[in-house]
Amino acid sequence: MSWIHEALKRAQREKGRPPGALQEEPAAPPAAAPVPDPGAALPPERGRAAAAPAPAPSPSSSAATPVAAAIAAATSVVSPAPPAPVPAPPANAPAPAPGAASPSQPAKALLASCRRAHWHEDASRLLFLSGAGNVFATEQLRALRSRLYQFREARPLKSVLVTSAMPGEGKTFICANLAYAFARQSDRRVLLIDADLRAPGLHSVLGAPREPGLSSYLRGEAGLEQILQRGPHENLFLIPAGKPAQNPADLVAGGKFKTLLAQAAVVFDWILLDSPAAAPVSDALEIAGSCDGVLLVVQGGKTPYDLAQSVTRELRQKHLLGVVLNRTEPAAAAS
């Protein structure tokens, strides 16, 4: 699509530019647990939808360094369409039976059984907790949040996968901070799921217990009420990755993963999932098939153009919503 092509081309021009803000999560082999990194969020779009670029490759030997300003450019793949009219129920439709299950009943039961964990949140990687120095970055996250609400007006959208083309591009950082952006709306209940069973990072950013978690549920060792936890925020919840898994792609491809998302959809307003990078392993594509939408994170000056194009082609069939450009200067993203 032209929006992807133009945005990726624009990213190539970022290569010579010094990186923008925050820390990027270090790239790590699948077996090692990475520390998620700071990146940035999307600037608001005007007029037509545009995709954020996947920049030209930088030397693979250079390590990720701290940056000075968090920013991302983002994308809408489709323009919201007017919602379809909801037909009125037949005049002779029977009234619901007294005591019939409603969304609030399973929600109350699940939340009542949810354990309260002590989180040691990492304020250096959670922008809404780190003070006034990240005003630009938090505004970009709010812009991304607004963009997702616009998508929701056009089609069902509750579960959103945040992935990247390669490891170390900031997907965990974007996923966690977007969840905090939603959770700032007190009437919204938000669930973070760490579906990166190879190198999980969300529990590290939140300073939360890693077990029990998703892998225990998918292996039939624990129920949803046992793996769900909440910290100091009344409307923000976490399902950590859990114990290391030998067959992560097989676990997330099974029916129990879809069952989990269906159960969670009754209780939560937004469900945000982190996953392994899409290019090296198949986990992200399997998870994307169970979600309502996908955001792809690419890093300015690092993500190879051809690789970003290849991953976007694969994700177009998996409800790709847009691309988040991470680690660029604010002025570059606005241009």
For the chain, give every domain's residue range.
2-77+103-334
- Work out the burial of residue 201: count CB atoms within 10 Å of its CB; fewer than 13 is exposed, 13-18 middle, 19 or more buried: buried
Q: Which pLDDT score is estimated for 48?
A: 36
Confirm if 319 and 294 have CB atoms less than 8 A apart.
yes
Each of the 335 residues of the chain gets a pLDDT tens digit; together they read 555 555 565 555 555 554 443 344 444 444 333 334 444 444 443 333 333 433 443 333 333 323 323 333 344 333 334 444 544 544 444 444 443 334 567 778 888 889 999 999 999 999 999 877 788 899 999 999 999 999 999 999 999 999 999 999 999 999 999 999 999 999 999 999 999 999 999 999 999 999 999 999 999 999 999 999 999 999 999 999 999 988 999 999 999 999 999 999 999 999 999 999 999 999 999 999 999 999 999 998 888 989 999 999 999 989 999 999 988 766 555 55
Architecture of domain 2-77+103-334: 3-Layer(aba) Sandwich (3.40)
> What is the DSSP annotation of 285-307?
HHHHTTSSEEEEEEETTTS-HHH
pLDDT of amino acid 333: 55
The sign of the dihedral angle between the CA atoms of 260, 128, 185, 73 is negative
Helix axes 171-183, 135-154, angle to 10 degrees: 80
Per-residue pLDDT of 107-159, as tens digits, reads 788 888 899 999 999 999 999 998 777 888 999 999 999 999 999 999 999 99
Beta-carbon neighbour count of residue 84 at 10 Å?
8
Neighbour order of strands in the sheet with 270-274: 115-116, 229-230, 236-239, 190-194, 270-274, 159-164, 293-299, 320-326
Give Cα separations from 30 to 311, 319, 320 (angstroms).
18, 25, 24
Q: What is the pTM of this model?
A: 0.72
Position 108 scores a pLDDT of 83
